[in-house]
Amino acid sequence: MTAPLNFTPAIGDMDFTPQQRELLTLAHTLGRDKFAARAAKWDQEASFPFANYDDLGEAGLLKLCVPTSHGGLGADYPTYMMLAAEIGRFCGATALTWNMHICSTMWTGVLADGIAMSDEQRAEHAARRELHFGRIVNDGAVYAQPFSEGTAAAAGRAPFGTTARKVDGGWLINGRKIWASLSGAADYYGVLCTEDRGDQHPDARDTLYISVPATAEGFSISGEWDPLGMRGTVSRNLAFKDVFVSDAEQLMPRGIYFKGAQTWPAMFFTLSPTYLGVANAAYDFTVQYLRGEVPGEPPIKRRQFPTKQITVAQMRIQLEAMKSLFSRAIQEAKPNPSKDERMRLYAAHYSVMEGANDICRLALRTCGGQSMLKHLPLERLYRDSRCGALMLPWTAELILDRMGRETLYEPGEKDA
């Protein structure tokens, strides 16, 4: 029997399984004791949180979602989402980059298990993912997830411009990615690209998910990195010039990524827990600050002002709404959700991505001028929180677009 939690996790208090309690305690302790104090450094330097990754590796959290049959911790989708929110509470950039790595294990693991495949594809996938999981479990390998190209591809509205051409024994990759979090830090880059069939008719159904080793010839990283927020993600540009990778690097059989994106919409929801964590951090800070209890700050109480009490109440109401939607959405995440479940998923994503920035805005306003100084975390949380709603394929705008259209039109319906 695991001991009850002695803290309220970022996701809120729920009926956790013993494994969830144990893992949440691990994530909370790592975040509170190690990641929180380092977060300002990664932000200031726009440098990758290598020290946090050493700790994640040591704690077994790089293999969190690798099935137990392959030496991992075998955590399911909801458990990952809870932990990511907890880590995001202490370091947004660590949580967001950890998401890219974990997705490479969830997509090939629990998500792939829920996607229809022929027996032949299933056998091919089982053999290939063994290699991929082995690298993570045995060698502590870290994976990035570069999809974005600055075109409609990452929005799911066009084929990826990066191509893979079949050659003897493997694939030849050409193209360019932008916004590749973990650039320079990952051992492998899980690239989405379109199979080049030589017919000049690229088709999104031919999307391939292939891992490119950081050491591959023809692979390079370039560009400046000096963004507003999430600076520790170090999301620079990648170029692939006739990069050869062997067949074994294919992370999903041909055609399966396209099916997966349609079958498992919750695969894109995994960007949101980082921002639920950031929202919690801003709320936690505000309560501490107004009570005059921030370590190292003068013990000036500001809680006696009714306007500040009202703002804290507003922040709490918004945070509770975000947590409720989020926790419902992670529990009902599955292949082929119903229309209501899909709408709730979109609503949860939107509420978290826009809500995180709202909460940070209210926090700064009510804590007041001194709270925005750089030695305190609030201004960083505010900047980090702005980034979530920009992330494809589910930007805040594209969520509104999908929800409106999918509410008013049933699949296949058109106006005359």
Ligand X SMILES: Cc1cc2nc3c(=O)[nH]c(=O)nc-3n(C[C@H](O)[C@H](O)[C@H](O)COP(=O)(O)OP(=O)(O)OC[C@H]3O[C@@H](n4cnc5c(N)ncnc54)[C@H](O)[C@@H]3O)c2cc1C
For ligand X, the binding residues (CB under 6 A) are 100, 145-148, 150-152, 154-155, 157, 179-181, 230, 233, 235, 387, 390-392, 395, 397-398, 401
Please say which residue, 114 or 404, places its beta carbon nearer to ligand X.
404
Output the smallest distance, CB 142 to ligand X, in A. 12
| End-to-end Cα, the chain, rounded Å | 62
Please say which residue, 235 or 280, places its beta carbon nearer to ligand X.
235
**3-state secondary structure string across 66-77:** CCHHHCCCCCCH
Output the smallest distance, CB 153 to ligand X, in A. 8
**CA atoms within 13 A of residue 407's CA, in its CB half-sphere:** 10
Residue 64, Cα to own-chain centre: how many angstroms?
14
Please say which residue, 16 or 80, places its beta carbon nearer to ligand X.
80
CA-closest candidate to residue 134, choices 189, 92, 71, 186: 71
Output the smallest distance, CB 315 to ligand X, in A. 23
Cis check: omega of the bond before 9, within 30 degrees of 0: no
> DSSP class of residue 368?
-
Judge residue 299's burial from the number of C-beta atoms within 10 Å of its C-beta, 0-12 exposed, 13-18 middle, 19 or more buried.
exposed
Output the smallest distance, CB 345 to ligand X, in A. 18
Output the smallest distance, CB 290 to ligand X, in A. 29
Angle (nearest 5°) at CA 183 between 46 and 142: 110
Please say which residue, 67 or 388, places its beta carbon nearer to ligand X.
388
Length of the chain (residues): 416
Please say which residue, 343 or 390, places its beta carbon nearer to ligand X.
390
Output the smallest distance, CB 387 to ligand X, in A. 4
User: Radius of gyration of the chain from Cα atoms?
Assistant: 21
Please say which residue, 173 or 312, places its beta carbon nearer to ligand X.
173
Please say which residue, 31 or 229, places its beta carbon nearer to ligand X.
229
C-alpha–C-alpha distance, residues 184 and 171, integer Å: 22
